[in-house]
Amino acid sequence: MRRLFCIVIFAIIVLVFPFRICAQQGSNFVFSQVKYDGRWDPRPASFGEIIHFLSSTTSIKPELRRKDITLKDKELFNTGFLYIAGTDEFKPFTDKERENLRLYIEGGGILLIDDCLGRKNYGFDKAIRKEIREIFPEKELEKVPRSHVIYRSYYLLRAVGGRKIVNPYLESIDVDGRTAVIYSQNDLAGAWARDRLGNWLYECIPGGEVQRLDAIKLMVNIIMYSLTGTYKTDTIHEPFIRRKLGR
């Protein structure tokens, strides 16, 4: 009887005051990843690396837990950054999921798409491009110009990285004058993945460790961009950046 009473009290605490046991979020950076009907988490070992790297090299205070959310989940609108990755073709999103994703992007959220397979018009790339066309039929993914703030939001980047280089560029869609959808086909997360002993899980081809470092820097820049927007385009930064780039 006493045991039953304890269970009931615990259930009440969990159900009625869920916020008490949730981690603090506030305006902290939360790495949110989309769960969908398919192989949605091909690089599970990368997340911890990204969070650790962010907190040790930047002032970003990331939440230590990744938030895995479906596109049906209203939690979608509690994050400003959404990551979707995959290797395989997946079951098309429902209309509701597409609508939610569109509202999320139009509402100010950033979507980073990472093709971890890295094959054009095949598997994940084929499926996700179709979904993007469905969500934004009037828009197309376009190459991100090298002058874009993404390449200077924290690191000054001269090249894009990844586990492999399928496209030596990023692609993006702008919504209301803001780059809101960023697509890397180079398996960004793959370059971050380590095993439990700290060894890199995947070799970066063809550029090796330089290419890996570019991938790490690019991921940081994209996250930084999702938190600071066009901050690095402000006039005050211009002379410094120009000097550093040797222009």
Partner 1 sequence: MNLSNINFQPIQWWILLLFVLSASVVMMVYFKHSKGYKKIPLLFRLFLFLCILFIIFQPAKNIRQKLVDKPALAVLIDTSGSMGAKDPVLRLDSVKKLVNENSEFIRNLRKTYSIYPFIFSTSIEHSSIEDISQIKLPQGQATDIGLALKQVSRELEGKHLSGIVVVTDGIHNGQWDPLGAARGLNIPVVSIGVGNREQFKDLTINEVKVSDFVFTNTPVKVEVAVTGKGYRNQDVSVILKQGAKVIKTKKVKIPAEELIKTNFEFIPQDTGNFTYTVSIPHYKGEFSTENNSKSFNLEVLREKIRVLYICGEPSWEYKFLREVLKNNPNIELVSFIILRNPENISIVNERELSLIPFPTHEIFMKEIFEFDLLIFENFSYAKFFPRSYLENIKKFVVDKGKAFIMLGGDNSFGRGGYRNTPIDEILPVRLTAGQEKMIPGKFRLKIINTSHPIVNLGDSLKETRDLWNSMPQLDTSNKILSAKPTAITLGVHPWIKENGEDIPVLVVWGKGKGRVMVLGSNSTWRWSMGLSGAGKTNFLYNLFWKRAIRWLIKAPEVKLVNVTTDKKEYIKGEKIKVIVRVFDEYYKPLANARVDLEAINPVGKKIDLANKVIETQAGKYEVEFTSDLIGKYRFNAAVYKSGRFLAKESSFCDVAIPDVELARLWLNEDLLKQIADITKGKYFHIEDIKKDTQILPKTALSQATMTSKQKSLWDSVYLYFIILFLLAAEWYIRRKSGML
Binding site for partner 1 (CB under 8 A): 19-20, 22-29, 56-61, 74, 76-78, 80, 100, 103-104, 106-109, 152-156, 178, 213, 216-217, 224, 226-232, 234, 236-237, 240-241, 244
133 or 237: CB nearest partner 1:
237
Minimal distance, residue 99 CB to partner 1, in Å? 9
155 or 169: CB nearest partner 1:
155
84 or 224: CB nearest partner 1:
224
Closest C-alpha to 66, from 97, 43, 87, 86: 43
Q: Is 7 exposed, middle or buried (0-12, 13-18, 19+ CB in 10 A)?
A: exposed
Minimal distance, residue 97 CB to partner 1, in Å? 13
Q: Going by C-beta distance under 8 Å and a sequence separation of 6 or more, which residues neighbour residue 26?
A: none
Minimal distance, residue 69 CB to partner 1, in Å? 12
Minimal distance, residue 26 CB to partner 1, in Å? 3
61 or 130: CB nearest partner 1:
61
Minimal distance, residue 16 CB to partner 1, in Å? 12
Q: Residue 205 in contact with residue 163, Cβ under 8 Å?
A: yes
For residue 12 the two structure tokens come to 């009440």
39 or 102: CB nearest partner 1:
102
C-alpha 105/C-alpha 103 separation (Å) is 5
Q: Phi, psi (5° rounding) for residue 142?
A: -125, 155
Q: Residue 147 in contact with residue 138, Cβ under 8 Å?
A: no
